[in-house]
Amino acid sequence: MHQPPLSHLTDADPAVAELIEAEATRQHDKVRLIASENYVSPAVLEATGSVLTNKYSEGYPGKRYYEGQQVVDPIEELAGERARTLFGVPHANVQPYSGSPANLAVHLAFMEPGDTFLSLELAHGGHLTHGSPVSITGKWLRPVHYGVGRTTGRVDMDRVRDLARKERPKVIFCGGTAIPRTIDFPAFAEIARETGAVLVADIAHIAGLVAGGAHPSPAGHADVITTTTHKTLRGPRGAMILTTEEHATAIDKAIFPGLQGGPHNHTTAAIAVALNEAARPEFRTYAHQVVANAKALAAALTDRGFDLVSGGTDNHLILVDLTNKDIAGKPAAKALDLAGIELNFNTVPFDPRKPWSPSGIRLGTAAITTRGLTEEHMTSIAEWIDRAVASAEDGPALDAIAGEIQDLLKGFPMPGWAPVR
């Protein structure tokens, strides 16, 4: 059953309630390895589903365009204060609806159409909003991309410096969506200072690791930090922009009125709750366990002959090139899903295949760490992945793996929901 219960929803709309119950069962019964997913606490769930969803609050605390903000203003101020304290930054905007609008606000704040910016290529681990040709950021601006080395799978900082000197970008982005290695924020900062660019660190994937001390922080190096509030941070589906005082006004104006109207107050409250949880000692333990699990899973996969981009991981994320397994990423991901292992197919650097049918898969260990799994379980997960990939068209074999996974997960409770005994 859910915590809090869905009794009113069950009475009012049993069809939707049944589907939500099915999703909860699915989340409980599967090893969830999608790097951008996690489980939130019951407290975050309660805040997200609160009466704050009834309130409209266009503007900023003390400067709203609607009355009745006596409660909402302190909630947003509390979320901002907790973000500033947790990440050690002078200013925090907690209003972005998600990571993409947060990144769009950066473009709006610092660039005009046609301006040049530097970012990691999407196929090498970047993000759509970092200048993909299919994104508005690639259509209206002029992105120049750096990549990773063909043999190392790591960003070549000398190449980044050369490109920055040549192109003189307005903005340099570091970070992305499929980077298994530590981001060298000091090196990026040095290049940005040398070339007069604004340095933006997109830490959407690693924010929880940064907060928990399991990854170096961009604070003090990057002028602007964008992040989602879910993923490793274990908050609701939202985002934040953290800045120096110098850039606070430009970012705030870019969010409102530049891109958004009223913030989602229920999400703001849930962000505040998640940030409070992230400041506790047990969150630090969780963050370090996420990395320990990823390293153990990477080693176990390597032992089974899987080809890992960059040879391993420093964070929560593992990127696997399946070329040597004679299977593409998409059929592998679908077979793994049937086997009770949830992840996504993903492009790998220098991938000869198309993005909708790439060579790789992407894994992350945040959600299984929240469930309580540790290094000792990573060997079993690697074995299940290996068996499923080798038996991609064998339905009974995949069903057998799914059953073994369900047996394991019965001993690891899911926050916010439990099966009815």
Which residues, 6 or more positions from 25, have their beta carbon under 8 angstroms from its beta carbon?
Answer: 419
Active-site residue (options: 177, 195, 228, 267): 228
Dmax (CA) of the chain: 64
Beta bridge partner(s), residue 116 = 142
Determine if residue 221 is labeled as part of a ligand binding site: no
The answer to whether the annotation marks 46 as part of a ligand binding site is no
Dihedral of CA 104/107/108/112: which sign? Answer: negative
Please confirm, yes or no, whether 85 is among the known catalytic residues. Answer: no
> Would the annotation count 322 as a binding residue?
no
In the residue annotation, 56 being an active-site residue is answered as yes
Q: Is 237 in the active site?
A: yes
> What is the full DSSP assignment across 316-378?
SEEEEE-GGGT--HHHHHHHHHHTTEE-EEE--TT-SS-TTS-SEEEEE-HHHHHTT--HHHH
Task: Establish whether 127 is an annotated binding residue.
Answer: yes
**Distance of alpha carbon 208 from alpha carbon 283, whole angstroms:** 9
- CA distances (Å), origin 264, targets 20, 53, 59: 22, 7, 12
Catalytic residue among 29, 56, 84, 115: 56
- On whether 312 is known to bind a ligand per the annotation, the reply is no
Helix axes 375-390, 281-303, angle to 10 degrees: 40
Quote the CA–CA distance of 370 and 365 in Å, as a whole number: 9
Three-state secondary-structure class, residue 307? strand
Please state at what angle helix 375-390 crosses helix 395-409, rounded to 10 degrees. 170
Q: Please identify which of the residues 30, 55, 170, 231 carries the catalytic annotation.
A: 231
DSSP assignment of 76-112 equals HHHHHHHHHHHHT-SEEE---SSHHHHHHHHHHHH--
On whether the CB atoms of residues 160 and 188 are closer than 8 A, the answer is yes
Hey, which residues does 172 pair with through a beta bridge?
118, 199
Tell me whether residue 202 is one of the annotated catalytic residues.
yes
Among 21, 76, 202, 342, the one annotated catalytic: 202
Of 64, 84, 237, 387, the catalytic one is 237
Residue 202 burial (10 A CB sphere; 0-12, 13-18, 19+): buried
Question: Which parts are annotated binding residues for (6S)-5,6,7,8-tetrahydrofolate?
Answer: 122, 126-128, 245
Question: Which parts are annotated binding residues?
Answer: 122, 126-128, 245
Q: Which residues are catalytic?
A: 56, 58, 202, 228, 231, 237
